[in-house]
Amino acid sequence: MTRTPVFAANWKMHIGPHDAAAFMRAFLAQYAPHGDRTVIMFPPALSLCVVAESARDRDDILLGVQNIFRESKGAFTGENSALMARQAGARFALVGHSERRRIFGETDSDTARKCAQAWAAELVPMLCVGETIAERERGETESVVLRQLSAGVSELEPTQIASMLIAYEPVWAIGTGCTASPDDAATVHAVIRAALRGQVGDRAARVPILYGGSVNEGNARALLAAPNVDGLLVGGACLDPSTWARIILT
Ligand code: PGA
Predicted confidence (pLDDT) per residue in 78-106, tens digit: 999 999 999 999 999 999 999 999 999 99
Element (H, E) at 196: helix 182-200
Mean pLDDT of 186-195: 98
Average pLDDT, the chain: 97
**Beta-carbon-side half-sphere exposure of residue 188 (alpha carbons within 13 Å):** 30
Residues 6+ apart with CB under 8 A from 114: 67, 68, 69, 70, 82, 93, 95, 96, 125
Give dist(CA 204, CA 161) in Å, integer: 8
Q: Which atom of ligand 1 is nearest to the CA of 167?
A: 9
Contact 212, 169 (CB under 8 A): yes
Residue 2: the pLDDT is 61
- Residue closest via CA to ligand 1's atom 1 equals 235
| Cα 116 to ligand 1 centroid, rounded to whole Å | 24
* Cα–Cα distance, 28 to 170 (Å, whole number): 30
CA of 233 to the centre of ligand 1 (A): 7
The SS3 of residue 211 is strand
pLDDT class of 109 with cuts at 50, 70, 90: very high
Q: Whose CA is nearest to atom 6 of ligand 1?
A: 235
Q: Is the dihedral of CA 216, 45, 157, 109 positive or negative?
A: positive
Q: What pLDDT score was predicted for residue 49?
A: 98
3-state SS class at 90? coil
SS3 234: strand
The Å distance, Cα 213 to ligand 1 centre, comes to 5
Dihedral angle of Cα 167, 180, 215, 39, to the nearest 10 degrees: -30
Angstrom CA distances, 152 to 89, 155, 181, 195, 217, stand at 24, 8, 25, 13, 31
The residues assigned a catalytic role are: 97, 169
Give yes or no for a contact between 129 and 140, defined as CB atoms under 8 angstroms apart: no
Predicted local confidence at residue 3, as pLDDT = 77
pLDDT tens per residue across span 112-127? 999 999 999 999 999 9
Residues 120-147 have pLDDT tens digits of: 999 999 999 999 999 999 999 999 999 9
| Of the candidates 200, 95, 191, 177, the residue with the CA atom closest to the CA atom of residue 140 | 191
Segment 18-54, tens digit of pLDDT: 999 999 999 999 999 999 999 999 999 999 999 999 9
Q: What are phi and psi of 249, to 5 degrees?
A: -85, 10
Q: How many CB atoms lie within 10 A of CB 204?
A: 18
* Nearest atom in ligand 1 to 216's CA: 3
Ligand 1-lining residues (CB < 6 angstroms): 10, 169, 174-175, 212-215, 233-237
Q: Whose CA is nearest to atom 9 of ligand 1?
A: 235
pTM of the model: 0.97
Q: Find the mean pLDDT for residues 48-71.
A: 97
Percentage of the chain exceeding pLDDT 70 = 99
pLDDT of residue 1 exceeding 60, the answer is: no
Q: How far is the CA of 210 from the centre of ligand 1 (A)?
A: 12
Q: Label the pairing between strands 124-129 and 61-65.
A: unpaired
